[in-house]
Copies of this chain bind each other. A is one copy, B any other.
Amino acid sequence: MAMNENLLRELLEGVRDGRVEPQAALERLRRLPFEPMGFANLDHHRAIRCGFPEVIFCPGKTVEQVRTIFGRLVEQGGNVLATRAAPEVFAAVAKDHPAAEYNELARAVTLRQGEPCEPMGHIAVVSAGTSDLPVAEEARVTAEIMGQRVTTHYDVGVAGLHRLLARSEALQSANVVVVAAGMEGALASVVGGLVAVPVIAVPTSIGYGASFGGLSALLTMLNSCASGVSVVNIDNGFAGGYIAAMINRQAAK
């Protein structure tokens, strides 16, 4: 659908050569207004520079739809990530792509094509409790398919502070930290006070009644008294891993 730079160059050369009237070129430019301008290029640029995977958010799509989209993305040659994928989605995808992998906890399907760059630096993924693991794992899988190295620090909630403190050196060596926590979500603030790098806080929907489906942890993290904490949507481990990968890639370049 996009008009690539070659076409634009060809058009301009047509004008130069007298094969295309300026008025006709004008019309054609107006009708395809944005394609020559870098948007498509942007996407291209991204693919080249970033090793960004193409991503499918599965909820609300049929198994067949995901399978079709997955196949199309694989043809483009980059890595592919399907999030919130039920086991039957993976089963269908794996038939077509035996190299696809499934992380049950994170409910994520990944397919790696070509070699990742050698990862530099690392991302620390931290979670408060066992119930927060699916979100933490979604962050990890996402960052890894984006070519980053991840260290995990699970089950280090603030109720047993010594477990977290025992990890402080490891956390301080990361370029960015992802914190997945439900209930009161205090872990993000405490980690934010321990490290000097950005903390991406992912509230989870784990908790008793007044956690209101993650609202409590969300507000906690937004109000963090530690200065380096920013927040993504409830249970959105994908976003946490994605942003962390963006940061670590820059830090390590």
Contact = CB atoms under 8 A, between A and B. Distances in A.
A186 B1 CA distance: 24
Given A8-B26, A194-B161, A219 B212 contact: yes
Contact of A12 (B26, B34, B220, B242): B26
B61 A131 contact: yes
A222 B228 contact: no
Nearest to A201: B230
Contact of A198 (B49, B210, B217, B246): B246
A74 interface: no
B130 A60 contact: yes
A18, A183, A242 — most chain B CB neighbours (10 Å): A183
A82 interface: no
A117 interface: no
A239 B226 CA distance: 9
A103 interface: no
B219 A216 contact: yes
Given A26-B12, A38-B33, A190-B190, A216 B209 contact: no
Interface of A: 1-2, 5, 8-9, 12-13, 15-16, 18, 21-23, 25-26, 29-43, 45-46, 49-50, 52, 55, 59-61, 65, 128-131, 157-162, 165-166, 168-169, 172, 175, 183-186, 189-190, 192-194, 196-198, 200, 203, 205-236, 238-239, 242-243, 246-247, 250-251, 253
